[in-house]
Structure 1
């Protein structure tokens, strides 16, 4: 029996040496195979995941939004401008303004335009939008648009991401806590955490086939509001267009669409321009008319519109150009701004010769016109005054958004920020 040995006050135990376990050849082969699989998986993930080719530089700290204006000034001066070709509308998120060009989303100080953060991928952006205080960026992956990232609007850090099934030309529609991705034969909706709640149309490799109501349909026009998504579609079994209203928040499996109603329209070439909790507004061709449908798809009214017939068809991306305040939705037909009651969707007034639907600024409604910005009485559609803006020869459409006293104009592929002059 071994006994402890005392040496300079320490106790030393005699122990048998531990011999390493000899591995069998089969164990060694299995271990090597596991390592190889892990290495290959790491390489594949590193080269194909959204982390590959990504540069994210967040803001150093929270930003500060510009102060709210007290009135529409008598003059605006250009504060800054930046390329923003991937943004169909001005994007304001957090305390600042966001631009999107190439593969880069940039968060900017609203007042100076200085960069606060950026998020860059080694591929091109398809589109961007603001929703639930975040910036939603949809990127190309080969020929599709299927990498969606949600960025914090203030700091620029990535919050959520998912793969979607979209095509070039897709738009992101946000309302409440939902985001909808449009497409010519497929659309899907997600919650604010990007968990899928709806798929409608042609689904690649569906988990359970036969859950879609119709096949072979193409989608021409989209509009969304909280809890409702409107789609104008053409189907092989119909000789006219069809308006379908769905629940984007689901209520069951995502690949089983929850349809509120689906009704045939009188003609082809229609577009849906607005939805409310109980109404759907569709523009019909022929003599241009606004058809208003109730919650079951029955016609409530049919109102003539004073616009050219060429402006009835939906725009190329399928999304009507609209803006809203607490009482009205403003639709831009292509040459006129038409105010609709936000609940009943009945037309209230038409202002001709405009460049976009407008936006709220200092508690008033401001509409872009060729000579500048028209300050409009939102109740009657009467122009109170016009603030001159020099756009340097640009004469295309203008989408507006406000962040404090900064007014941002989306002029084609460029964002231009205006501030009160003087």
Structure 2
């Protein structure tokens, strides 16, 4: 019978050395990992969606406020008011401003959006705005994530079906689970470069819907901007499917500031700035990028102009008014003057921010039905974005979000 093996002093020293190396390796991996720079404070209990208001408030005042410099608009989803600033995304109780949950990373935010009970936050690292996390809006719990090459700065939007992340060289569309349905523009994988219809283009503006993606771009060799209309979810996400693409011939088609304002199933709405001899205009194109008609504007739209879909209308905040357009044809419906920002629907009325108040409009005619006084603190005349959750109105302005109620 063989004698049992005995541990020697050298064996013990070797085991200790291996253990120390493993611990050091684990510590190094943790030190350089994303987890070390992440703070996640989900809610103990999921927030509840408050009942929709059945009547407008008789009076308004500010209830609370919080930093909100990373989101493009006032955000509310799943009964939570969402604010984003620096590297932190926070869910608040809309009535009290109490923190419901928080998600924080040691990276700057590129953009934040919300739809379908989720919040999507995109962060910037050495690859650009490449790290995206999806959170449950009612609890702040992490659901999924994605990483891919992106531009250093992007515009992140949601259309009710897809998320759209657009930079100057490249854009991507994502499903509700953050799986990519389309990449367009610059491709970092050499094997996929020839799948793109054009190369070297600068992406100026894009808007998506469930069935169409409209991209305004400027490509080498084109004498003016180009409108391309694509399938937002082709069979192969690396191979774009175009419904049509044409270089624009309108006056103002090669002037800085042109952009896509809205996309319907068979219509695309562009804003084209004026030239020295022509007025700015809204141009309507069909679903294959062919122009149908134009509508002259009395004044150019500022960069802060926004488009909001409410019911059967698209509402464009023009910088000093709200223009209502039919959601199918983009025909003008009505105009409400003296607006300070984008509208929202509450208790069957369209609310728009105005000087010293919030005005309520009839959705069919745009006629003002009432005006609720509101004294805004620390307001510096910037555009105001409205959202509604329950009986609370959210105002995003000057890099902060304000909860407003009775």
**For 1:280, which of 248, 261, 268 is the aligned residue?**
268
Contact 2:74/2:395 (CA < 8 Å) preserved in 1?
yes
**For 1:326, which of 307, 311, 316 is the aligned residue?**
311
Correspondences of 1:37-76 after superposition (within 5 Å): 46-76=30-60
Contact 1:160/1:194 (CA < 8 Å) preserved in 2?
yes
1:263 match: 246
| Bigger shift: residues 113-122 or 289-298 | 289-298
Give, in angstroms, the shift of residue 167 of structure 1.
3.2
Tell me the distance in 1 between the aligned counterparts of 2:190 and 2:2.
61
Would the alpha carbon gap of residues 168 and 75 (structure 1) be closer, same or farther in structure 2, given more than 3 Å must change? farther
RMSD over aligned CA atoms reads 2.5
Q: Work out whether 1:152 is the aligned partner of 2:144.
A: no
Paired residues in the alignment total 387
Q: Summarize deviations over 1:272-306 as a string: whole Å, max 9, x none.
A: 10001111111222212221111222222222223
Q: Work out whether 1:301 is the aligned partner of 2:287.
A: no
Give, in angstroms, the shift of residue 81 of structure 1.
0.6
Correspondences of 1:219-298 after superposition (within 5 Å): 219-252=203-236, 254-265=237-248, 266=250, 267-269=253-255, 270-286=258-274, 287-298=279-290
2:62 match: 78
SS of the residue corresponding to residue 52 of structure 1 reads helix
1:197 match: 181
Would the alpha carbon gap of residues 164 and 363 (structure 1) be closer, same or farther in structure 2, given more than 3 Å must change? farther
1:179 match: 163
SS of the residue corresponding to residue 192 of structure 2 reads coil
Q: Summarize deviations over 1:189-211 as a string: whole Å, max 9, x none.
A: 11111111111111223333211
Q: Summarize deviations over 1:111-159 as a string: whole Å, max 9, x none.
A: 1110111111112212211022111111121472211000000110111
Any gaps of 5 or more consecutive residues in structure 1? 1-15, 22-28
| Bigger shift: residues 394-403 or 368-377 | 368-377
Any gaps of 5 or more consecutive residues in structure 2? 7-13
Correspondences of 1:5-154 after superposition (within 5 Å): 46-142=30-126, 144-154=128-138
Give, in angstroms, the shift of residue 352 of structure 1.
2.5
What is the TM-score of this pair, normalised by structure 1?
0.85
Tell me the distance in 1 between the aligned counterparts of 2:3 and 2:365.
93
SS of the residue corresponding to residue 207 of structure 1 reads helix
1:414 match: 400
Correspondences of 1:160-175 after superposition (within 5 Å): 160-175=144-159
Tell me the distance in 2 between the aligned counterparts of 1:331 and 1:370.
18
Tell me the distance in 1 between the aligned counterparts of 2:378 and 2:65.
15
Tell me the distance in 1 between the aligned counterparts of 2:155 and 2:29.
28
Give, in angstroms, the shift of residue 20 of structure 1.
6.3
SS of the residue corresponding to residue 191 of structure 2 reads coil
Tell me the distance in 2 between the aligned counterparts of 1:117 and 1:90.
17
SS of the residue corresponding to residue 209 of structure 1 reads helix
Contact 2:161/2:209 (CA < 8 Å) preserved in 1?
no
Contact 1:324/1:359 (CA < 8 Å) preserved in 2?
no
Tell me the distance in 1 between the aligned counterparts of 2:87 and 2:280.
40
Contact 1:149/1:162 (CA < 8 Å) preserved in 2?
yes
Contact 1:50/1:147 (CA < 8 Å) preserved in 2?
no
Tell me the distance in 2 between the aligned counterparts of 1:377 and 1:64.
30
Tell me the distance in 2 between the aligned counterparts of 1:37 and 1:205.
35
Contact 2:151/2:170 (CA < 8 Å) preserved in 1?
no
1:10 match: none
Q: Summarize deviations over 1:318-346 as a string: whole Å, max 9, x none.
A: xx512112211111122221111111122
Tell me the distance in 2 between the aligned counterparts of 1:208 and 1:143.
18
| Bigger shift: residues 78-87 or 162-171 | 162-171
Give, in angstroms, the shift of residue 160 of structure 1.
0.8
**For 2:192, which of 208, 213, 233 is the aligned residue?**
208
Tell me the distance in 2 between the aligned counterparts of 1:45 and 1:93.
36
**Rg (Cα) greater in structure:** 1
| Bigger shift: residues 378-387 or 48-57 | 48-57
2:10 match: none
Q: Summarize deviations over 1:329-384 as a string: whole Å, max 9, x none.
A: 11112222111111112221222321112000112100111221111122222222
Tell me the distance in 2 between the aligned counterparts of 1:79 and 1:400.
15
